[in-house]
Amino acid sequence: MKLQEVIDKYALLGYRFLMISDHDYLTSQEELNRSDSGGMLLIPGNEISRNGPHLLHVNARSSVKATENRQEVIDRINTDGGLAIVNHPNLYKDFNYCPQHNIDTWQGFAGIEIFNGTSHSLSGSAYATDRWDMVLAERKKIWGFAVDDSHDESEIGRGWVTAYVQDLSAEAIVQSLKKGRFYSSTGVVIKNIEVGSDYIKIETENAKKIVAVVDYNFRIKEVSGKTIRLDFDGTLPETERFQASCHRDGKARYIRFECWGKPEQFAWTQPFFIRE
């Protein structure tokens, strides 16, 4: 598909902002400015692909060389003022497109794709919350992103993020994504996230079930319906099963929520970290 055709498809779906990338090709701001945005904010990008696991360069101002040293690539993305995201870690038949060791040791990237739409058309898994939980349980703060990674028209609109911003600008969007002020979705809409000193409340428009999980995807509460409220004292869950399967000290490092709707429709909050 041509660039303008892609933009038009997303505009028809009601998107407010769109980052467009291709493999080792910088979709520049100059190129985007020559296009009809359809009322959307268009953000330049590049999917750095050669010589190693793929990294998404969001809000790319210049082309970053795809060297084998991916930490160097991440550092250059940050120097450029952009945002680095690890792409489709569970892609292909070994479910290991990006080895977990890399995700554990790389520094300075914003997060990983916990949903990658094009992966539904390939071997492996489109989902990577397992990878996310393994990192979060070791107190590494990274965010979870849902994306299309569309390669043709049939893959448009499979996954997206909803960001909380004061103004619709590339700088505001990037800051929101860097700080985790967004949720990821494949169809469920989160209306409100309320956090108190001893509770978290999530309200959605269309969830049929909401699950609260802590370290290593350990479920601590699930409810049927559109809303969940989790009350806690800061030391949950402290159960024998949690100690045996997660942490011997019995203390969770984070809480996150998965909102389930119709088949293949989810929303994922970002993690809420529990103070040590």
Domains and CATH numbers, the chain: 3-185 (3.20.20.140), 190-273 (2.60.40)
**Whose structure tokens read 């949720």?**
183
Residue 237 pLDDT greater than 90, yes or no: no
* Amino acid 252: pLDDT: 86
**How does pLDDT run across 43-86, given as a tens digit for each residue?**
999 999 999 999 999 999 999 999 999 999 999 999 999 999 99
E strand or H helix at 129, and its extent?
helix 129-136
E strand or H helix at 244, and its extent?
helix 240-245
Q: Range with the lowest mean pLDDT among 20-29, 145-154, 244-253, 256-265?
A: 244-253
Residue 127 pLDDT level (bands cut at 50, 70, 90): very high
pTM, entire model: 0.94
* Amino acid 238: pLDDT: 57
Percent of the chain with pLDDT over 90: 87
Round to whole Å and give the CA distance between 112 and 114.
6
Residue 235 pLDDT greater than 60, yes or no: no
Three-state SS at 273: strand
Residue 232 pLDDT level (bands cut at 50, 70, 90): confident
* Amino acid 246: pLDDT: 73
Q: Provide the mean pLDDT of the chain.
A: 94
Residue 226 pLDDT level (bands cut at 50, 70, 90): very high
Report the 3 state secondary structure along 164-197. Answer: CCCCCCHHHHHHHHHHCCEEEECCCCEEEEEECC
Residue 233 pLDDT level (bands cut at 50, 70, 90): low
